[in-house]
């Protein structure tokens, strides 16, 4: 694989850099893009995310690979990759649109009806629709096919009852993708339907859950007699698992590519220079590991993008990428706090760097679990890459 830009790609990169340099506000120019540090549960963060998405849309940078009919640019995967790389140099607020742009859009493009695409794709890109993902339940996380939320047909609607949990950004969302059981209780993956759910409908209650980092990134969502039109079914009734696999593959790829850890490496080096002797061999060794991992993540990202550019959905390579990012964030968080020495134990917005390393240390658990825990990714790699025997299926 050739890692250098072609002349056309170089020209595109220059154009992107010029646009970002002109449009990224000074407050987003500090440090690398990072998840977990933003206070996602306040209204100003919501407004900032919507404003940034709208700015991307107006500038012609939203949905680079989506067709122009849907408000995108009709560009190739390399342009998308270049744009993401350049945008990751800044801490622009993208959080609230991660689900909509990276998971809902790609799923509707593959499985949605023309009406569903018309109704949602352009509003997503314009920053008008925040989406959340109503998949996980108290008793269905890794083993998602055992979900119990029920959808029963009543004329032109499905009546939905159940409880979801860990729903990121539900407190901000206008719409949700929802998995519900339409088959009999033991029907496993063969009795699940994928629905689009308007979050303003009666019967939906959102309760934020506060995390160790102090923010409420995710929520519990209770659904009581929620009436969803049959036109909001995506794919086949009882065939929602096929649709969900597209969403879940996109989620892993998205999470794996979320953080530019090379930029965080630079911050770690600066911290090390400030706090410890250059000659400390253990610190030097850990910094080398962070750098090596960051480069590996970069190359794994290229591999994933290559398969996407060849029209293949993210497969086990997305699991490898996500696992690698988990390991990397674990290392970064613990090294950062260790380098701070005694002040690493402080947790206050008034300490010099706003507890960035403490946040990173605590927030790495989110990446290790969200989108499926490390152990489940290892199972996927064991079965689909190494050819080891399959885990016994629950259904
Ligand atoms: C930050 C964050 C955001 C999230 N956002 C959303 C969202 O927006 N929407 C949504 O629907 N869900 C969301 N989730 C939920 C996420 O998808 C689940 O946490 C994940 O699927 C794991 O499910 P669980 O938490 O029920 O853990 P469980 O499935 O109960 O697993 C707990 C532990 O058991 C072990 N384990 C489980 N199964 C296996 C196995 N087969 N082999 C080996 N070990 C196993 C692992 O150690 C695992 O960590 C989010 C989670 C996090 C952390």
Say yes or no to pLDDT of 8 above 60.
yes
- pLDDT score at 33: 44
Q: What is the rounded distance in angstroms from the CA atom of residue 53 to the CA atom of residue 61? A: 9
Higher pLDDT, 90 or 1: 90
Cα–Cα distance measured from residue 95 to residue 241, given in angstroms and rounded to the nearest whole number: 26
- Alpha-carbon torsion, ordered 154, 157, 158, 163, to 10 deg: -120
366 lines ligand 1 (CB under 6 A): yes
Give tens-digit pLDDT for 279-332: 789 999 999 999 999 999 888 887 777 776 666 666 788 888 888 999 999 999
Ligand 1 centroid to Cα of residue 97, in Å, is 21
Per the CB < 8 A criterion, the answer to whether 107 and 250 are in contact is yes
List the structure tokens of 225. Answer: 């007699």
Evaluate: CB of 212 within 6 angstroms of ligand 1. Answer: no
- Going by their DSSP bridges, the two strands 157-168 and 150-154 should be labelled as antiparallel
- CB of 209 sitting under 6 A from ligand 1: no
Output 159 or 385, whichever has higher pLDDT.
159
Instruction: Look at 361 and 258; give whichever has higher pLDDT.
Output: 361
pLDDT, tens digit, 9 for 90 and up, residues 73-99: 999 878 888 898 888 888 888 889 999
7-129 is classed in which CATH architecture? Orthogonal Bundle (1.10)
Specify which of 1-5, 40-44, 86-90, 114-118 reaches the highest per-range mean pLDDT: 114-118
Whether 74 contacts 61, CB under 8 Å: no
Domain boundaries, the chain: 7-129, 132-238, 259-384
Average pLDDT score over residue span 63-76: 92
pLDDT at 29 over 90: no
How much is the average pLDDT of 199-215?
A: 92
- Residues across the chain: 395
Q: Residue 114 catalytic?
A: no
Cα–Cα distance, 202 to 359 (Å, whole number): 36
pLDDT at 394: 57
Instruction: Give the CATH class of 132-238.
Output: mainly beta
Is pLDDT above 60 for 351? no
Residue 217 CA, closest ligand 1 atom number: 1
Catalytic residue, chosen from 86, 251, 317, 340, is 251
Region of 75 please: left (phi>0), alpha (psi -120 to 50) or beta: beta
In this predicted structure, the answer to whether residue 162 has a pLDDT above a threshold of 80 is: yes
Nearest alpha-carbon partner for 325 in 270, 373, 255:
255
Residue 130 near residue 100 (C-beta atoms within 8 A): yes
58 to 52, 62, 73, 105, 246: CA distances (angstroms): 10, 8, 11, 18, 28
| C-beta atoms surrounding 237 within 10 Å | 17
pLDDT single digits (tens) 367-390: 888 878 889 889 989 998 899 998
* CA-379 nearest atom, ligand 1: 42
Whether 369 lines ligand 1, by a CB cut-off of 6 Å, is: yes
pLDDT at residue number 36: 47
Least confident of 27-41, 56-70, 132-146, 208-222: 27-41
Determine whether the shortest distance from the Cβ of 190 to ligand 1 is under 6 A: no
Is residue 199 within 8 A of residue 170, CB to CB? The reply is yes
Q: Is there an atom of ligand 1 within 6 Å of 84 CB?
A: no
| CATH of 259-384 among 3.20.20.140, 3.40.50.1370, 3.40.50.1000, 1.20.140.10 | 1.20.140.10
Whether residue 191 has pLDDT greater than 70: yes
Span 249-273, average pLDDT: 79
Mutate to test the pocket of ligand 1, among 254, 371, 373 (most ligand atoms within 8 A of CB): 373
Give the C-alpha separation, 174 to 130, whole Å. 6
Decide if 33 contacts 86 (C-beta within 8 A).
no
Residue 157 dihedral angles phi and psi, to the nearest 5°: -130, 160
The whole-number pLDDT of residue 238 equals 98
Pairing of strands 175-181, 131-134: parallel
Nearest CA to ligand 1 atom 50: 370
* Cβ of 194 below 6 Å from ligand 1: no
- Atom of ligand 1 at shortest range from CA of 365: 53
The reported pLDDT for the residue numbered 353 is: 58
Q: What is the pLDDT of residue 310?
A: 67
d(CA 127, CA 93) in angstroms, rounded, equals 12
Report pLDDT digits (tens) over 217-260. Answer: 899 999 999 999 999 999 999 999 999 998 987 776 676 566 67
**pLDDT over 90 (residue 60):** yes
pLDDT exceeds 90 at position 105: yes
Mean pLDDT of the chain: 88
**Least confident among 9-13, 25-29, 240-244:** 25-29
Give residue 295 CA to ligand 1 midpoint distance, Å: 27
> 3-state secondary structure string, 97-139?
HHHHHHHHHHHHHHHCCHHHHHHHHHHHHHCCCCEEEECCECC
* pTM (2 d.p.): 0.90
With the most atoms of ligand 1 within 8 angstroms of its CB, the residue from 219, 244, 369, 371 to mutate is 369
pLDDT at site 32: 45
Substitution candidate for ligand 1 out of 37, 370, 388, 392 with most atoms within 8 A of CB: 370
User: In the predicted model, is pLDDT for residue 62 greater than 90?
Assistant: yes
**Kind and range of the H or E element at 207?**
strand 204-209
Helix (H, G, I), strand (E, B) or coil at 36: coil
pLDDT at 146: 95
């Amino acid at each position: 694989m050739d890692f250098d830009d072609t002349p056309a790609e170089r020209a595109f990169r220059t154009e992107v850099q010029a646009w970002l340099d002109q449009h990224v506000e000074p407050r987003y120019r500090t440090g690398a893009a990072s998840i977990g540090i933003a206070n996602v549960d306040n209204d100003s963060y919501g407004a900032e995310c919507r404003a940034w998405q709208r700015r991307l849309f107006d500038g012609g940078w939203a949905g680079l690979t989506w067709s122009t009919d849907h408000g995108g640019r009709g560009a190739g995967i390399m342009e998308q990759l270049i744009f993401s790389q350049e945008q990751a140099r800044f801490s622009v607020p993208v959080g609230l649109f991660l689900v909509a742009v990276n998971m809902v859009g790609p799923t509707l493009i593959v499985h949605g009806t023309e009406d569903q695409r018309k109704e949602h794709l352009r509003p997503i890109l314009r920053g008008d629709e925040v989406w959340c993902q109503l998949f996980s339940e108290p008793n269905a996380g890794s083993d998602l096919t055992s979900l119990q939320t029920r959808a029963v047909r009543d004329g032109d609607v499905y009546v939905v009852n159940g409880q979801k949990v860990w729903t990121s950004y539900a407190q901000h969302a206008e719409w949700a993708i929802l998995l519900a059981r339409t088959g009999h209780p033991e029907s496993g993956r063969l009795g699940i339907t994928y629905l689009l759910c308007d979050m303003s409908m009666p019967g939906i209650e959102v309760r934020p859950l506060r995390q160790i980092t102090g923010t409420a990134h995710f929520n519990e969502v209770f659904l009581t007699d929620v009436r969803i039109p049959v036109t909001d079914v995506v794919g086949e009734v009882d065939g929602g698992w096929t649709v969900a696999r597209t969403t879940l593959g996109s989620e892993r790829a998205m999470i794996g590519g979320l953080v530019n850890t090379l930029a965080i490496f630079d911050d770690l080096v600066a911290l090390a220079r400030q706090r410890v002797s250059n000659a400390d061999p253990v610190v030097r060794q850990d910094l080398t590991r962070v750098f090596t991992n960051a480069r590996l993540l970069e190359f794994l990202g290229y591999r994933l993008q290559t398969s996407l550019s060849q029209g293949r959905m993210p497969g086990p390579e997305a699991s490898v990428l996500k696992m690698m990012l988990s390991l990397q964030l674990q290392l970064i968080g613990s090294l950062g706090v260790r380098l701070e020495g005694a002040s690493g134990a402080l947790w206050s917005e008034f300490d010099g760097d706003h507890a960035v390393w403490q946040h990173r240390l605590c927030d790495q658990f989110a990446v290790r679990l969200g989108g499926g825990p490390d152990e489940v990714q290892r199972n996927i790699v064991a079965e689909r890459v190494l050819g080891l025997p399959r885990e016994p299926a629950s259904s």
